[in-house]
Amino acid sequence: MFPETRMRRLRNGKMRDLVRENSLSADNLIYPMFVDETISTIQKTASMPGVERLPLSKVADDAKEAADLGIPAIILFGIPSHKNEHGSSAWGDEDIVQKAVREIKSELGKDMVVITDVCLCEYTDHGHCGMVDFEKEEVLNDPTLPLLGETAVSHAKAGADMVAPSGMMDGMIGAIRSALDENNFTDIPIMSYAAKYSSSFYGPFRDVAESGCCFGDRSTYQMDPANSDEAMREVELDIMEGADIIMVKPALPYLDIIYRVKTEFRMPTAAYNVSGEYAMIKAAAQNGWLDEKKVMYESLLSIKRAGADMILTYFAKDMARILK
Pairing of strands 113-118, 162-165: parallel
* Residue 272 contacts residue 249 (beta carbons within 8 Å): yes
Start-end of H helices in the chain: 13-18, 59-68, 96-108, 145-158, 172-182, 203-209, 229-241, 255-265, 275-286, 292-306, 316-323
How far is C-alpha 321 from the geometric centre of its chain's CA atoms?
20
Residue 282, C-beta contacts closer than 8 angstroms, at least 6 positions apart: 48, 49, 50, 292
CA dihedral 22, 267, 262, 202 (to 10 degrees): 90
Q: Are 272 and 308 in contact (CB under 8 A)?
A: no
Cβ atoms of 262 and 308 within 8 Å: the answer is yes
- Which residues are the active-site residues? 196, 249
